[in-house]
Amino acid sequence: MKTIITFLILLIFTSAYGQTDTYQALVDSAKALFKQDGRLSQEELDAFDYKKVVALWEEVVRLNPNNAEARYFLGYAYDRLNSRDGRGIIGMDVQLVLKTSAEFEKVIELSPNYTGEKIVLDPYSKLTAVWGTLAMKYIYYNKSDSALWAFREGKKRGGFSDVILALNRLPLDQCSPNAILISSGDNFTVPLWYLQYVEGYRKDVSIVDVNMLNAGWYPRFVAEKNNVSFDMSLVDLDTIEYIPWKSTRVDIKGFTWFVEPTCYDRYLLRGDRILLSLLKQNKFKRDIFFTVNFPEEARLSLKESISSYVYADKLTPKGKQTLPYQTYKNTITKVLSMAPQLNSNRHDEMRIFEYYRYDLLLQALELYDERSTDSKAHAKELLRILDTYCKEDKIPYQNKEGKAFADQIRNRVEE
pLDDT tens for 292-343 read: 999 999 999 999 999 999 999 999 998 899 999 999 999 999 999 999 999 9
* In contact, 134 and 94? CB cutoff 8 Å: yes
* In contact, 280 and 307? CB cutoff 8 Å: no
What is the DSSP secondary structure assignment for residue 249, as one 8-state letter?
E
What is the sign of the dihedral through the CA atoms of 384, 385, 391 and 397?
A: negative
- Is the same domain home to 404 and 260? no
* In contact, 198 and 150? CB cutoff 8 Å: no
Enter the pTM of the model. Answer: 0.91
Q: What is residue 18's predicted lDDT score, i.e. its pLDDT? A: 41
Q: What domain count does the chain have?
A: 3
Q: Does residue 172 form part of some domain?
A: yes
Cα distance between residue 384 and residue 26, in whole Å = 51
Domain housing 151: 2-156
* In contact, 68 and 25? CB cutoff 8 Å: no
- Is the same domain home to 64 and 205? no
Q: Which residues pair with 206 in a beta bridge?
A: 180
- pLDDT beneath 50, residues of the chain: 1-20
Gap between the terminal Cα atoms of the chain? 57
Name residue 109's amino acid.
E
Nearest to residue 104, comparing CAs of 91, 93, 118, 90? 118
Q: What is residue 38's predicted lDDT score, i.e. its pLDDT? A: 62
Q: What is residue 85's predicted lDDT score, i.e. its pLDDT? A: 86
pLDDT in tens, 245-301: 999 999 999 999 999 999 999 999 999 999 999 999 999 999 999 999 999 999 999
Q: What is residue 4's predicted lDDT score, i.e. its pLDDT? A: 41
Q: Among 295, 315, 335, where does a domain finish?
A: 315
E-strand ranges in 103-204 read 180-183
Q: Does residue 320 form part of some domain?
A: no
Contact partners, residue 315, CB within 8 Å, separation at least 6: 287, 288, 289, 290, 302, 305, 306
- Is the same domain home to 302 and 339? no
